[in-house]
Every structure is written in structure tokens, then in C-alpha cells.
């Protein structure tokens, strides 16, 4: 009888350790870091403006019409507004700084560029995989 209690106790400890490990990796461990860079190179959007907010609205409207943000991984969607606010500004006409890194693996941004980093945890990685799987099923 005592042997079964010991084996049961060991089994319970192993199950608890496995559950805690899975919980940690799913919620907290960063499997990958995505970097998005905002450079100093600008493009004139040729829209008259009086404030940065007008330009941000113009860009966000264009992005929504193109459904661009729907294709972004979940971590980038969360920080997308912050990137737009950094990249878009008004100087008589709306201007937008070059933003890159969405679809490439960057080690770092160039000197003088604003860097945004997004950590992908297990939960977010599974959402990305699920989204890719749904996109493939739509094509097939």
C-alpha cells in the first residue's frame, strides 16, 4: 500500500511540473522577437493637413480599406497604432516615414531609426499558425 502512495505521489509531482511548464511556455516564454523599424526616409502623401492626427486618420483609413492590418501577426496588430503614430506626421502635407520589417527577420534597425519589438509567446504563435492554416484552407 505504501509503494502505491509513493508512485502516485511521484506521478502527481510529474504531472504538476509538466502542467506548470506548459503554462509557462504558452503564456510567457518568448519564442521569437519581431522587429519593425521606422526610418528617416519619407514619402509625401500629397494630402494637405494642419495636424498629425489628420494624417494618421488618412493613413488608417487607407490601411483599413486595403485590409492590410488583418494580415499582420497578432503581436504586430497590438502595436500597429504606435507604429503609425511614429511614422506619420504633418508638415503642410501629410508625410510618412518608411516602415519595414513586417515580413523579414531583422537583427536590429539601422542607427537613428526607431525600433519596435514584439515578443511572440506560445499563445500568439499558435494564433499565427491557426491564421496561416485558415488562409491555406481558403486557397485550397
Element (H, E) at 80: helix 74-87
d(CA 20, CA 95): 49
Band of pLDDT at residue 1, cut at 50, 70 and 90: low
Helix and strand element counts for the chain (H, E)? 4, 4
> Quick one: pLDDT at residue 95?
92
pLDDT at 93 over 60: yes
The overall average pLDDT reported for the chain is 83
30-48 sheet: strands from edge to edge: 88-91, 93-100, 30-48, 114-121
Closest CA to 58 of 69, 44, 47: 47
Closest CA to 98 of 52, 39, 47, 57: 39
Band of pLDDT at residue 16, cut at 50, 70 and 90: very high
d(CA 103, CA 25): 24
pLDDT at 139 over 70: no
User: Maximum Cα–Cα distance for the chain, whole Å?
Assistant: 84
Least confident of 14-18, 92-96, 113-117, 126-130: 126-130
Average pLDDT rounded to a whole number, residues 73-92: 82
pTM of the model: 0.64
> Quick one: pLDDT at residue 137?
66
> Quick one: pLDDT at residue 133?
72
pLDDT at 77 over 60: yes
Indicate if the alpha-carbon torsion angle 126, 132, 135, 140 is positive or negative: negative
pLDDT at 29 over 60: yes
d(CA 30, CA 59): 31
d(CA 37, CA 87): 10
Q: pLDDT above 70 covers what percent of the chain?
A: 83
Amino acid at each position: 500500500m505504501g509503494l502505491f502512495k509513493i508512485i502516485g505521489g511521484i506521478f502527481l509531482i510529474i504531472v504538476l511540473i509538466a502542467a506548470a511548464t506548459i503554462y509557462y511556455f504558452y503564456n510567457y516564454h518568448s519564442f521569437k522577437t519581431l522587429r519593425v523599424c521606422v526610418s528617416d526616409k519619407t514619402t509625401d502623401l500629397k494630402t494637405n493637413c494642419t495636424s498629425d492626427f489628420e494624417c494618421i486618420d488618412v493613413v488608417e483609413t487607407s490601411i483599413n480599406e486595403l485590409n492590410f492590418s488583418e494580415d499582420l501577426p497578432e503581436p504586430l496588430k497590438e502595436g500597429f497604432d504606435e507604429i503609425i503614430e511614429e511614422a506619420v506626421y504633418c508638415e503642410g502635407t501629410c508625410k510618412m516615414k518608411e516602415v519595414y520589417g513586417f515580413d523579414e527577420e531583422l537583427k536590429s534597425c539601422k542607427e537613428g531609426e526607431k525600433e519596435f519589438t514584439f515578443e511572440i509567446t506560445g499563445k500568439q504563435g499558435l494564433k499565427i499558425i491557426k491564421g496561416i492554416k485558415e488562409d491555406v484552407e481558403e486557397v485550397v
